[in-house]
Structure 1
């Protein structure tokens, strides 16, 4: 059966005109109002409601305009018109059956040509361009929400500019108006399947956040309690403090990372944290702040002003506006893992004191078969809030793993980095297995083919909700 209306997914339809007649004569519409109701023929809950405009009451004509937001979900819709007459009576058209509308798949996104790689040398706080490489074979770049990302590039050894590649230098991949920037950490020439020396370099490294990997938290270790405490402060404030005193303005000036600064303003973002630092690696402490607060962090470079900037990142809850699912044609399932293992549900956190006088704090409310206890030695924590925060952090690190990876398919429905990005919380479906509202904790971009794989979170506060669709007969009995 041919649909009465065909519309492109996430598209619009030129104003549609409907003429009502009875026995060949126009139906008078003076004083009448009309509403179009469209229901997806397969998936309940997807519907479109649009008021119709009376175009010419004497000619019996109605006008209807669809918007892009109406047509994001593809498929066949059954349509009925509800007309309320001037005297208050109503009519439904057609009297039996339905009109039909077909929202077709969106056109494939145009291919975006990969941009050349850039190789830079650092001079103080400035990156100086050394070479442009436009003949790379492949690049895989993974961004991460709470830790430095990683990248790998395969580059012909004799490509123009390849001789500028060197450990410790910087590399950037411009795309869509900004840059992915990383540090070259290793270069390798591998053997081919035939045992011959490859004609390509395999170059790997991490994103700019890796510069913080070279600092441990030494601030305050020789004064007071010996701990650098950030208690009951916003996650962003704590992160900025630890970066400032250990990498930007440390007591010992030789520890300073020249050219690195904090973002201009502390916006106090993220929930409050309880963190005590002493000899941990700086990125580990930042991850602890991130786990408690829900924030991410990054180090970026400003090509206009020069200089490296640390900033906390906050995601946006887009669960009501972004839904990725194979049945919508906007993603493919790349991997799914759910593992209970020995994940604790209750933390028994032991604080300060000796023997019977030692402070014990229980974190978690699970009971019976669902209660799996974990002992946490937290002698460095002095208050109940600190003990609770430490217990929550341990449960977050060790809880049940639920990780879903999806290969995003570009459509006009949602645009990566325009409608959603790393750190955002979105809705995702794995038909027949689970539906999730989870944070995007990693994004892997592969060039030149443009593949984008999203990794959706596994731990609190990344996993907002998880509804498993699989049959659980045993649980219901």
Structure 2
């Protein structure tokens, strides 16, 4: 595998064609990350500089080098570079001035990017890619929020993914929203994808479940004081016992909005917070390509698939895929569902 190295202004610098290890971690709702280990040669030290771009022609993502370390062990010098994929550029901007939006989620995400990283305070070489016309809708108000964090909240609430794709011929990053298919065993629109012992396509499976931070009913409090404060309730119990969450949304201002428009924005905030407070349930395993289910051909990041093991059947979206290339061995590990967050967040205080 050749890794093509570009400068920050997307000019070809050279190729890294020999490395000891590459971890390429793709994510659907937020930027992925990578870690590369290779010999600390003069050429590699020059190529793998902070800000340079690692591009693989076999993947849509490209990585921006953010960390570099060089070490020596038993006479062997090694360089390690780390970073995130191109959409991490959007963490460099906040939303200002305030956006009041009602419409499709895709157009809303594009507006957040355009208003804060392209038409105003442009991120170098960032553009909008083609629109796909997805039907999911939302209503939101945002100001002072990080652009990337906002995109991730909208993505998780709607099931859409996003990417900043490296467009080498035009020397640009193209921001695009995308959506993958439901390929679980419960759908009948097309072929299903099932990871199970029966199909012999998983090794080292691991299942986790935690509902400590799970909430399914939100009280979203907007502007006002005491009994005059506007509060909407968002019910996602679906017949389950209620687990309540308080969301302080005082930052959302009514202004010239009608009551209905303002309530819709509060409801959207509630949906986003409940998405963050979902059950942590995930299944991950090293995937083995078979004649039935081949990575990138039959299944990909963002697809909803089925995992079956230990009497459990989990039909959920593949939110991460970790690719590891080491010692001529390739390991592909999909993560299906909602992993337990690294930092437990029990929601907003009153």
| Structure 1 position 372, deviation (Å) | 2.0
Contact map agreement 1:239 1:286 (CA 8 A) in 2: yes
Match of 1:453 in 2: 333
Cα distance change, pair 148–366 in 1 and its aligned pair in 2 (3 A): closer
TM-score by length of 1: 0.64
Match of 1:263 in 2: 129
Cα distance change, pair 179–245 in 1 and its aligned pair in 2 (3 A): closer
Report the Cα distance in structure 2 between the residues aligned to 1:217 and 1:369, rounded to whole angstroms: 36
Report the Cα distance in structure 1 between the residues aligned to 2:234 and 2:36, rounded to whole angstroms: 44
After TM superposition, which residue ranges in structure 1, 4 or more long, deviate above 6 angstroms? none
Cα distance change, pair 135–267 in 1 and its aligned pair in 2 (3 A): closer
Residues 243-263 of structure 1, C-alpha deviations (whole Å, 9 max, x = no match): 11111111xxxx212322111
| Structure 1 position 289, deviation (Å) | 1.5
Report the Cα distance in structure 2 between the residues aligned to 1:260 and 1:454, rounded to whole angstroms: 29
TM-score by length of 2: 0.86
Match of 1:327 in 2: 198
Match of 2:212 in 1: 341
Match of 1:42 in 2: none
SS of 1:336 mapped into structure 2: strand
Contact map agreement 1:422 1:442 (CA 8 A) in 2: yes
Report the Cα distance in structure 2 between the residues aligned to 1:171 and 1:439, rounded to whole angstroms: 27
Contact map agreement 1:422 1:443 (CA 8 A) in 2: yes
Report the Cα distance in structure 2 between the residues aligned to 1:179 and 1:391, rounded to whole angstroms: 32
SS of 1:384 mapped into structure 2: helix
Report the Cα distance in structure 2 between the residues aligned to 1:269 and 1:369, rounded to whole angstroms: 30
2:286 aligns with one of 398, 407, 415? 407
Match of 2:8 in 1: 122
Report the Cα distance in structure 2 between the residues aligned to 1:335 and 1:155, rounded to whole angstroms: 30
SS of 2:81 mapped into structure 1: strand
Greater Rg by CA: 1
Q: How does 1:32-181 map to 2 (within 5 A)?
A: 115-123=1-9, 127-158=10-41, 160-175=43-58, 178=59, 180-181=61-62
Structure 2 unaligned blocks of 5 or more: 186-191, 255-261, 340-350
Contact map agreement 2:72 2:78 (CA 8 A) in 1: no
Match of 1:81 in 2: none
2:107 aligns with one of 225, 237, 240? 237
Match of 1:288 in 2: 153
Match of 1:418 in 2: 297
Report the Cα distance in structure 1 between the residues aligned to 2:232 and 2:42, rounded to whole angstroms: 61
Contact map agreement 2:154 2:272 (CA 8 A) in 1: no
Report the Cα distance in structure 2 between the residues aligned to 1:386 and 1:200, rounded to whole angstroms: 51
